[in-house]
Structure formats: structure tokens, C-alpha cells
Amino acid sequence: MLLIPAIDLKDGHCVRLKQGEMDEATVFSEDPAAMARHWLELGARRLHLVDLNGAFAGKPKNESAIRAIIDELGDDIPVQLGGGIRDLDTIERYLDSGISYVIIGTAAVKNPGFLHDACGAFPGHIIVGLDAKDGKVAVDGWSKMTGHDVIDLAKKYEDYGVEAVIYTDIGRDGMLSGVNIDATVRLAQALRIPVIASGGVASMKDIDALCAVEEEGVMGAITGRAIYEGTLDFAAAQARADELNGDLG
């Protein structure tokens, strides 16, 4: 079970939102590159970056902060990035700069042809991000609900060749209310590709619950507010996950 620290970027700072509300941002660091180094030193084996301004604007907005993080980390661990990625040129630029995986969210729902093209052009590097509430997908930084069923969409994208699906329960994200295990497992069981859980990781109890369903296809979990506010000790949590699942890292 891979625990993936999140670094959400807003105006060049590392922040966390509550339920995707930009005016509910808490700044945790004004030096995202130093924060990335911090998580690496605590044993992170992958990082999750989100360009929040980019997600709302529909184009990259925090590239300088992202580049600083990549420069800081070098080739030490893979980095996955989402937010405002709407064209193949942007994907190519990010991959060339050292990003390992590009996450396509809103654009996958609004323009599935773009996702299909991206998977064909950059095989092994495309992750789709599906944000849902009550089983229905949301877009545009969670500001709009669609009628799309999350499992139906995920199965379609699996056929395109995406590497993994990040599933976020937007009712729980940033709320420290616990992971929606049931919904995450339902999605993982319907797919052949791995699912990464996101939203609501709050305590060691969530780590135990996630590890118990890893064999269903849940390969990891993104954690943000809990590790910044201290309700979850990241290093202890990853050690616990390794112990439960027999992975020595």
C-alpha cells in the first residue's frame, strides 16, 4: 500500500482545501520544494501534486513551483501531477521536465477523445482522476456535477489504456472524516487497472482499512490535510502499511 503525500499548489504555496473550495484554503508552506523534500525524507515513495489555480483556469498556473519541486527531488521518487492539463503539448512539457505521471480529470469527462489521444501518445504515463459524490462524477474543480456514473466512465477509460484511476470522494476530501472504503472497493473490483484512493484519510484506522482491501485492486492512497495537521504520522503510517502487507519498501 503506497501512501502518497499531496502537495496542492495555490499561488505558489502549498495549501489544503476543504471540499475543493478555493476560499477555504489553508496555507501549510510557502516553500513547496522544501515540503517535497520533507516527505521524501520521511519515506514517501511517490508524490501527488495538484495545480489548483490551473484546475480552475483550465491551463497551468504553478509551473515555476512545480519545476522547483522536480529540481529538488531529481530522480529520487516518481511524481504525479494534475490540474489544468488540457492538451498534448502540456503533457509532453511536463513529462520532459521530469513528471512521471500526468493526471487528467475534467478534460477526460468533457473531452474523452483527448484522453484517448494522450494514452496513445504517452503510454504508461496517463492517470485519470475521477472525483465523485454519491457515485456521480464532478468536474471543473468539483463545481459542477454530471450525470455520469463513476464506474461506467472508469471502465471506458480503462479501455483507452490509462495507467490507474485516482478516485476522490469529494464529500470527504479535506474533512478528515475517513475514506469511503466501500465506494473505492466497488470501483476497484470493476476494473483491471489499479485504483488510488483519495479524500478523507484521517488516521491509522484508515490505513488499516485500506490495507485490508489492497488485494481488491487499491494500490495506494493520497493523503493531505491529515499529515499536515498531524492527525496522521506519515512515516508511521507507511511503516504500518508495509508491515500489514508484507512490503519492506
Residues with catalytic roles: 8, 131
Task: State the cell numbers at 49.
Answer: 501534486
Strand duo 21-29 + 13-18: pairing: antiparallel
Report helix, strand or coil for 55. Answer: helix
> Which residues pair with residue 21 across a beta bridge?
18
Q: Which of 79, 161, 52 is nearest to 112 (CA)?
A: 161
Position of cell 478528515?
A: 176
Task: State the cell numbers at 214.
Answer: 489492497
**Cα distance between residue 21 and residue 195, in whole Å:** 25
